[in-house]
Structure 1
Amino acid sequence: MTNTSNRPKLKIPKSKSEWFWDTIGFSCYIGSIILLIVVWNSLPNQVPAHYNANGEVDRWGAKGELLILPAIGAFLMLLMQVIERFPETHNYPERLNSENLGRFYLNSRMMINQIKNIFLIIFAYIAFESISIALGWGKALGGWFLPLAVLSVFIPIIIGIVKQRKIH
């Protein structure tokens, strides 16, 4: 049953975990957009536009560049929602069969859901920090941000793989 064209589509309701992650991810994303709208006229002409690996601003740009963050967030959200919606197209091990199909689909979908929402949280946080720095509320993301961001994306992948290995 490894050929994706032969896999059946299943209607599996969203889990409580998926609803929780969507609520947190979308809330952070929408919150960052609302904050950007509220402070837009207060922002200086030059705002942080890029950070180095230590979380320090290494390029300043026009405040319009802050619109790139929600735009990338929206693109990733839409792309990953499409991927999340069609778990029958995901990659699965050879042991996929009609008895374990639903568990594989749900596990894969939950992993994609978590990664999508972590991306939304990360982009919302970068937007918040950029606004904060531009308005003089904060100083820098800090050297902890990049490792934490990378780790936060890989943790759901690792957990998903471990859970997938337990499906028989």
Structure 2
Amino acid sequence: MRIIEVQNRPVLKIKKTPLETALNIATLLLFIGSILYLLMEWSSLPNRVPMHYNFFGEIDKWGSKGIIVLHPIIGAVLWISLTVLEKFPHVYNYINLTEKNIEQQYKNVRIMINVIKNEILIYISYSIWKDIKAAYGHDITFGTWDLPLFLIVLFSSISFFIVRSIRLR
């Protein structure tokens, strides 16, 4: 079993899985929906919106409503950047990449990036909704737990794909 060095890695054309396609479509629809919701609420949105939440999920910094536009911008930039990164699985770091497991490893890491980018965009979409609701004075559903829950989901996904990569050796 010959280990393939970084400079000798082939560029493979691997078809997107139905999971990747479904996640992209569902997440983009949710993101577009959150942007449309922001646009619909924009004229009635208070001039002050939440900018930061403390450890307990309480708002501890307010800003002008223009700051809320950063959510969609950051979301779009991250989603596009990670979509481009998905197309180059041959540049990632691997442990014991061989001719036998190369296609499975490339696909595994590409799906991992896809899942991560969509989880991030879902959280950003939720943040847009949450900040609008908080600006109106509504109590937020998850409060303290939204960020820890997001991080648990994110790191669980990463762990799953790392373990899967190790098993593919």
Same fold per superposition (TM over 0.5): yes
Task: Check if 1:35 corresponds to 2:37.
Answer: yes
Unmatched runs of 5 consecutive residues or more in structure 2: none
| Counterpart-to-counterpart distance in 2, 1:60 and 1:85 | 39
Q: Residue 134 of structure 2 corresponds to which residue in structure 1?
A: 133
| Counterpart-to-counterpart distance in 2, 1:50 and 1:2 | 46
Letter of the 2:102 counterpart: L
Letter of the 2:37 counterpart: L
| Counterpart-to-counterpart distance in 2, 1:4 and 1:43 | 51
SS at the partner of 2:144?
coil
Asked if the contact 1:129–1:138 (Cα under 8 Å) also holds between the matched residues in 2, the reply is: no
Deviates further, 134-143 or 17-26: 134-143
Q: Residue 84 of structure 1 corresponds to which residue in structure 2?
A: 86
Q: Residue 144 of structure 1 corresponds to which residue in structure 2?
A: 145
Q: Runs of at least 4 residues of structure 1 off by over 2 A?
A: 1-5, 135-141
Asked if the contact 1:53–1:146 (Cα under 8 Å) also holds between the matched residues in 2, the reply is: no
| Counterpart-to-counterpart distance in 1, 2:75 and 2:111 | 19
Deviation at 1:70, TM superposition (A): 0.8
| Counterpart-to-counterpart distance in 1, 2:51 and 2:61 | 5
SS at the partner of 2:60?
strand
Q: Residue 162 of structure 1 corresponds to which residue in structure 2?
A: 163
Deviation at 1:127, TM superposition (A): 0.7
Q: TM-score with structure 1 length normalisation? A: 0.93
Asked if the contact 1:47–1:63 (Cα under 8 Å) also holds between the matched residues in 2, the reply is: yes
Q: CA RMSD in A?
A: 1.5
| Counterpart-to-counterpart distance in 2, 1:77 and 1:48 | 23
Letter of the 1:134 counterpart: A
Task: Check if 1:115 corresponds to 2:83.
Answer: no
Deviation at 1:53, TM superposition (A): 2.0
Deviation at 1:138, TM superposition (A): 3.3
Where do 1:63-102 residues align within 5 Å? 63-93=65-95, 95-102=96-103
Q: TM-score with structure 2 length normalisation? A: 0.92
| Counterpart-to-counterpart distance in 2, 1:111 and 1:139 | 30
1:50 pairs, out of 35, 49, 52, with 52
Task: Rate the CA distance shift 1:55–1:24 in 2: closer, same or farther, 3 A.
Answer: farther
SS at the partner of 2:62?
strand
Unmatched runs of 5 consecutive residues or more in structure 1: none
| Counterpart-to-counterpart distance in 2, 1:97 and 1:2 | 5
* Pairs aligned (count): 167
Partner deviation per Cα, 1:41-84 (whole Å, 9 max, x = no partner):
01011111111122211111100000011111112112211211
Task: Rate the CA distance shift 1:98–1:75 in 2: closer, same or farther, 3 A.
Answer: same
